[in-house]
A and B are shown apart, each in its own frame.
Chain A
């Protein structure tokens, strides 16, 4: 028994001594090992074996992690002598979700290079007994830019196909096999989730027949990106901080927390936070903490709130006093503390698209006076304020306030005049709404103690004045508030002579005229430029220019392109305006329409052709014509241009093309302008030989002469007997008495005493003349009462004068001023024959050209009964004549 006790004692002794000492074997180890997990982290806890208390130095625990039986991690935990006996823990985060595969941790101890033979091992099993593929980790919040490993755990019997993230490029993903049932996908997350979470999917198949798919979802986002914190106060009792919120995926931003100075901000996701603060004049840091699932950021702003006053907008802006040209505004403050601050307020006055700003300064400012307002006008005002000292920001604009100023008399009119047809038209511009200050009732025009009222719809008045004198004309406008101050203009004496007026230099600029001129000493009160279209209706417009300016730009909605305007420059003087310069111009020259030259005519002269046209009217000139150009195109020669004639004379109306050959041509006339050749008008003409024309003329002349001779012969043959009897009468010597004229027999021939005839040498021929005359009306100039008229010429013209003597009717003598109707040379045979066609008298002879024939005894009588002839004086003489009995007068050779 004693022997056994000794043996046990020895064994125990040897065991105690052998703690790491004997034979290099160390027996201290962890008897109680506990393995837990948190998300993807392994939590290991253990205690020292009581035998470890003998250790006097550092004890090392060795930890080995195996995933699916493969070592993936090794670690050591050093325990000092003091720590021995207390619980130990260790944790490690796996790159794989713990559900993906079994995670085993082996723990052993080492002391002075002697390893404990004890080894503790604990395993966290992966997912098993699945019915479909499953992907892990699930529902994680991950940071953009991080690299993450997902795994797909397959049910038994399924074959892995692929793992993927929709929308991700497969080149940045790497799939590895963990074991037969587990595959891992490592991917660098380079894009945030958008509207929802990002899917990670796994596809597998059952015996290559049925495909199954499942997945997990992860929110991929950023750390809070909020920035630009700025704190201020609006009521001097609270701090209001603003910052820029960086948008994150929906759930991430929803779960972002904001804290200002440690207390939560309800409106944090909107980028503002309001906190009551104690009155504190000092400068301090205002810190905002922003935290989401991925981390947190701190924003800080150092400020003294008394220097960061962002005032609230003024309230209740109204007008306390409203006059025609000034208004007093008032407003109130929501924060009473503002009344103690020195404030600067801006008043924005707007009307009809115009804005003006005025600034006012004062302690607790709550009013402003607006001046220089337009009477009878609607305004809108808004007010904003800021602190004058330590200005930080303007407040918001107040709510707009509208008011109407009171009415006033109209402004003075802008008056001008136009001289037209010896009349002076006084014209004035219709006052604009901001000039009339109320409805215009009428206008009053006063000149030379005369007053005229003009209706409000008219803006001119034509005055018939003595054009040799000056008049001062005054014009006023009247509204319900009274009359405007008069605008006067002195009318100049009429002077049609406008020579000696300089040319006005006119330039065109963007649809307007740009004028410049030399300074005139006469222009004591400035210049006036007026303009209106050169042709057509002249609606005069004008512009008044101050004396120190010598140029003007004329803009008017009435200015039209392609229309020529006449512009005049006047000097404004104390008296009547003085015309200085004149000019014409176009705002923009336009091409003249084709067919300008109407009618376009041509005339051939030998081998030349003269093309002519009517002068071009101004209305058709949409550009200045600098000249004309004529093109000749040979129609027989492939439309080749064979001539090109031009002139620089804008007044020209002909152009001549020379040396053209016989053939067909097209002649085209164009006007040369600054915008090119335009107004194209063409005609086609065929040129004939001039020889052909000569032959035609000769043949026509010969036929005409032959026909005339034949006619004369026939007539002579018909009256041969009479002619013979009269030419060779049986009477030996004709005897003329005074009664011969008074007793002629019907159908008788009346011999005259030719020796008393006072004919010219040419007219005195040996061949007697026969005058046959019917007894009908002498001519058409017979009154309805058969009272013949005598045409008498008076100093002021001609008039019809009834004859006093009825029987016998007078003959009318034509004045000798009428030239010969025929224009043919005098025939040696002169006779008077009845006209077979018209039953009128036909007469050949140069006697018509003899001036002042007078009827005397033995004087040759010649009459023209075919129409009216002016007469120098009337002559009465008696002839017995009836309709039935034509009379024949024979003028015998002297």
Chain B
């Protein structure tokens, strides 16, 4: 009994710390995404009028207030994973089709965002593990359009769209992660309920 309480308390502390760290990473990533978007707009002479196709590239279940913490985290984690896949593909296509080799501010920032996104994914994965208690299931990336358009200008727009997608999901990550204290409370409540049930038995 005592062991269980200790473990649950430790798990709670761990998730709280991980959530805080993940939030901080997401905030940093959001800042870096803003810079990346700005650098890309400048590089490609994109005005605010440039037409980017509507709709999300990332495919996840729609948000809902009915989703519990685990589902919210899973949804976020899945979206971020798709973002990373899209970002990696975008970088590869840029290098391949639009001319690479240059190492300027834009390329540096792009690499930084990719690495920060990976770091955020590690933290959201830990959070999922802490909340769910099981191994994190790898979200299904099937159906994700990774090929990109064939025409060069559309490819540029596609890359831009991916950057905006990363930016969007980073903002979502901040919101989701900041709502985690209630999660912790809920987790504590669940732990208490389990404990009470067992005591009653």
Given A138-B151, A139-B151, A216-B153, A199-B99 contact (CB < 8 Å):
no
Interface size on B, residues (CB 8 A): 16
Please determine whether B152 and A138 come into contact, CB atoms closer than 8 angstroms.
yes
A195 engages B99 (CB within 8 Å): yes
> Are A250 and B99 neighbours in the complex by a CB distance under 8 Å?
yes
User: At the interface with chain B, which of A206-214, A779-787, A821-829, A860-868?
Assistant: A206-214
- Report Cα–Cα, A762/B114, bound state, in Å: 130
A138: B residues at CB distance < 8 A: 151-153
Which A residues from 675 to 724 make CB contacts under 8 A with B? none
B47 CB-CB contact with A under 8 Å: yes
**Contact string, B128-158, partner A, CB cutoff 8 A, digits 1/0?**
0000000000000000000000011100100
B51 A212 Cβ-Cβ under 8 A: yes
The interface residues of chain B lying within 8 Å CB-to-CB of A215 are 153
B49 touches A196 (CB 8 A): no
- Judge if A197 is at the interface, Cβ distance under 8 Å: yes
- The CA-CA distance from A332 to B100 in the complex, in Å, is 44
**CB-contacts of A760-812 with B (<8 A):** none
**Number of A-B pairs, beta carbon distance below 8 Å:** 48
Chain B residues, Cβ within 8 Å of A167: 45
Contacting residues of chain B (58-106) with chain A, CB-CB under 8 angstroms: 97-102
- Which chain A residue lies CB-closest to B44? A199
A138 CA to B101 CA, complexed, in Å: 24
Chain A hits for B47, CB < 8 A: 213
Q: Contact at B99–A217, with CB atoms within 8 Å?
A: no
Q: Mark A245-271, 1 if CB is under 8 A from B, else 0.
A: 000011100000000000000000000
* Minimum Cβ distance to chain A for residue B109 (Å): 15
Interchain CB contact under 8 A, B102 and A195: yes
Residue in B97, B100, B152 with the greatest tally of chain A CB atoms within 10 Å: B152
Contacts of B2 in A (CB 8 A): none
Q: Which residues of A contact B102 (CB under 8 A)?
A: 195
A166 to B156, CA, bound (A): 15
Whole-angstrom distance between the alpha carbons of A211 and B48 in the complex?
9
Say if the beta carbon of A409 comes within 8 Å of chain B: no
- Give A117 Cβ to nearest chain B Cβ, in Å: 45
Given A132-B51, A166-B45, A199-B45, are A214 and B153 neighbors across the interface (CB < 8 Å)?
A: yes
Cβ of A27 within 8 Å of any chain B Cβ, yes or no, is: no
Q: Determine whether B1 belongs to the interface, using a CB cutoff of 8 Å to chain A.
A: no
Which residues of chain B are within 8 angstroms of A195 by Cβ–Cβ distance?
99, 102
Fill in one digit per residue for B26-45: 1 if any A CB lies within 8 Å of its CB, else 0: 00000000000000000011
- Could you tell me the distance between the alpha carbons of A199 and B46 in the complex, rounded to whole angstroms? 10
Q: Establish whether residues B152 and A197, one from each chain, have CB atoms under 8 Å apart when the complex forms.
A: yes
Cβ distance A256 to chain B, nearest Cβ, rounded Å: 14
Point out the residues of chain A lying under 8 angstroms from B151, CB to CB: 138-139, 216-217
Taking a contact as CB atoms under 8 Å apart, the answer to whether A135 and B100 are in contact is: no
Mark interface residues in B144-184 (1 if CB within 8 Å of A CB, else 0). 00000001110010000000000000000000000000000
Q: Is B45 a contact partner of A197 (Cβ separation < 8 A)?
A: no
Residue of A with least CB distance to B157:
A214
Report the Cα distance A138→B156, complex, angstroms.
13
What string of 1s and 0s marks CB contacts (under 8 Å) between A315-352 and chain B?
A: 00000000000000000000000000000000000000
B200, CB-defined interface residue at 8 Å: no
Bound-state CA distance A138–B152 (Å) is 8
- Chain A residues, CB < 8 A from B98: 196-197
- Identify B153's interface contact among A199, A203, A249, A251, CB under 8 A: A199
CB <8 Å contact, B99 and A196: yes
| CB contact under 8 A between A139 and B49, given known A195-B99, A199-B44, A250-B100 | no
Q: Which residues of A contact B100 (CB under 8 A)?
A: 250
Closest to A249 in B: B99
| Max count, chain A CB within 10 A of own CB: residue among B44, B51, B101 | B51
A532 shortest CB reach to chain B, Å: 63
Query: What chain A residues lie within 8 Å of B51 (beta carbons)?
Result: 132-133, 212-214
Interchain CB contact under 8 A, B50 and A213? yes
Task: Point out the residues of chain A lying under 8 angstroms from B156, CB to CB.
Answer: 199, 217
Residues on B with C-beta less than 8 A from A203 are: 49
Cβ of A207 to closest chain B Cβ, rounded Å: 15
Kindly list chain B residues whose C-beta atoms are within 8 Å of the C-beta of A216: 151-153
Residues of the B chain whose Cβ atoms lie less than 8 Å from the Cβ of A211: 49
Contact with B along A212-232 (1 / 0, CB 8 A): 111111000000000000000
Q: Which residues of A contact B49 (CB under 8 A)?
A: 203, 211-213
Residues of B within 8 A of A250 (CB): 99-101
- Interfacial chain B residues near A251, Cβ < 8 Å: 97, 99
Residues of A within 8 A of B101 (CB): 250
The A-contacting residues of B in range 6-30, CB under 8 angstroms, are: none
Which chain B residues border A212 with CB–CB below 8 Å?
A: 49, 51
Please measure, in the bound complex, the distance between the C-alpha atom of A166 and the C-alpha atom of B45, giving whole angstroms: 7
Most chain A CB within a 10 A radius of its CB, from B50, B101, B153: B153
Interchain nearest-CB distance for B28 vs A (Å): 28
Determine the distance from Cα of A203 to Cα of B50 in the docked complex, in whole angstroms: 9
Contact flags (1/0) for B107-127 with A, using CB distance below 8 Å?
000000000000000000000
Task: Write the A627-653 contact mask toward B (1 if CB under 8 angstroms, else 0).
Answer: 000000000000000000000000000
For residue A199, which residues in chain B have a CB less than 8 angstroms away from its CB?
44-45, 153, 156
Assess whether B153 is in contact with A217, with CB atoms less than 8 Å apart: yes
Complex: how many Å from CA A251 to CA B152? 12
Please judge, given known A-B contacts A195-B102, A199-B44, A250-B99, whether A139 and B152 are in contact too, CB under 8 Å.
yes
Q: How far is the CB of B105 from chain A (nearest CB, A)?
A: 13
Q: How far is the CA of A296 from the CA of B99 in the complex (A)?
A: 22
When chains A and B are docked, how far (Å) is the Cα of A166 from the Cα of B43? 11
Q: How far is the CB of A22 from chain B (nearest CB, A)?
A: 56
Measured CA separation A109–B156 after assembly (Å): 49
- Using A166-B45, A195-B102, A250-B100 as known contacts, say yes or no to A135 and B50 having CB atoms under 8 A apart: no
Smallest CB separation, A130 vs chain B (Å): 11
Within the assembled complex, what's the spacing in Å between the Cα atoms of A167 and B45?
Answer: 9
Chain A positions 416 through 453: 1 when the CB is less than 8 Å from some CB of chain B, otherwise 0:
00000000000000000000000000000000000000
Per-position contact with B for A131-173: 1 when CB-CB < 8 Å, else 0?
0110100110000000000000000000000000011000000
CA distance A731 to B45 in the complex (A): 147
Residues of the B chain whose Cβ atoms lie less than 8 Å from the Cβ of A135: 153
Please, how many angstroms separate the alpha-carbon atoms of A349 and B89 in the complex?
57
CB 8 Å contact bits of A189-208 with B (1 = contact, 0 = none): 00000011101010100000
CA distance A214 to B156 in the complex (A): 11
CB proximity of A217 to chain B, nearest CB, Å: 4
Complex formed: what's the CA distance from A402 to B51 in Å? 68
Q: How far is B153's CA from A166's CA once the two chains are assembled, in angstroms?
A: 13
Cα of A378 to Cα of B91 in the assembled complex, Å: 55
With the chains together, A598 CA to B50 CA distance in Å?
Answer: 87
Measured between beta carbons, the chain B residues less than 8 angstroms from A139 are 151-152
Cα distance, A743 to B44, chains bound together (Å): 141
- From A167, which residue of chain B is reached at the shortest CB distance? B45
Q: Which partner residue on chain A sits nearest B51 by CB separation?
A: A212
Q: List 27 A-B contacts (CB under 8 A).
A: A132-B51, A133-B51, A135-B153, A138-B152, A138-B153, A166-B45, A195-B99, A195-B102, A197-B98, A197-B152, A197-B153, A199-B44, A203-B49, A212-B51, A213-B47, A213-B50, A213-B51, A214-B50, A214-B51, A215-B153, A216-B153, A217-B153, A249-B99, A250-B99, A250-B100, A251-B97, A251-B99
Closest 5 CB pairs of A and B: A250-B99, A217-B152, A166-B45, A211-B49, A217-B153
B residues adjacent to A (C-beta < 8 A): 44-45, 47, 49-51, 97-102, 151-153, 156
For the A-B complex with A167-B45, A251-B97 known, give 10 more contacts whose Cβ atoms are closer than 8 Å: A132-B51, A133-B51, A138-B152, A139-B151, A195-B99, A197-B98, A197-B99, A197-B152, A213-B47, A251-B99
